[in-house]
Amino acid sequence: FTSRFMETVTINREHAVGLSGQFGKLCFRRWETVRRAANVAERRSDKMNVFIFLITGIYLSVMAVIDHRLQKIPVLPGVIGILVIVLARVVDGDFWKWMPGVAVGVFLYLMSKATRGAVGEGDALVYLMTGVTLGFFGNIELLTLSLFFSAIVSVFLLVFRKVGKKKRIPFVPFTAIAY
């Protein structure tokens, strides 16, 4: 959006420079004001994204440790994290752009119910949060990398007979690594 907006503003600036007198100066001043406002909005959006990615990274790191030790994901921190990120997205003004990413978490939740817990509900909660952070395609990429890393570790554990076929391994640590 910003680049298309700036192209339009640049065209208007070039047109304003060709104008004579006060009207040309007025158009040029208006262009400068709009350009500054667009830069401020872009910097604010960048700072908000850093905040959101930081919150998600901290959440994933803590949940990875908890999932590794207890193989359970507490619900309350996830819900609070999702609410904070949704609020940040609303304040930033690009809430709807990121909401399709939640579909991955919803899909994992449905898989959890369909498989009677083979996929954990906590994993679905984690992917709801990363969905709001990364968007749909970013969340799909995160899930794919997480599955790839967990598959490598699982094959290693099975080949070297460290675990049996029925052993459950925590998934969130692989999500944190992929993030």
Q: Are the CB atoms for 73 and 125 separated by under 8 Å?
A: yes
Distance CA 47, CA 38 (A): 14
Dihedral of the CA atoms 131, 137, 139, 141 (nearest 10)?
-170
Distance CA 37, CA 62 (A): 38
Claim: this prediction has a pTM higher than 0.95: no
pLDDT in tens, 98-120: 889 999 999 999 999 998 888 88
Which of 60 and 8 is assigned the larger pLDDT?
60
pLDDT in tens, 15-37: 545 555 555 555 555 555 555 55
pLDDT in tens, 142-172: 999 999 999 999 999 988 887 877 788 899 9
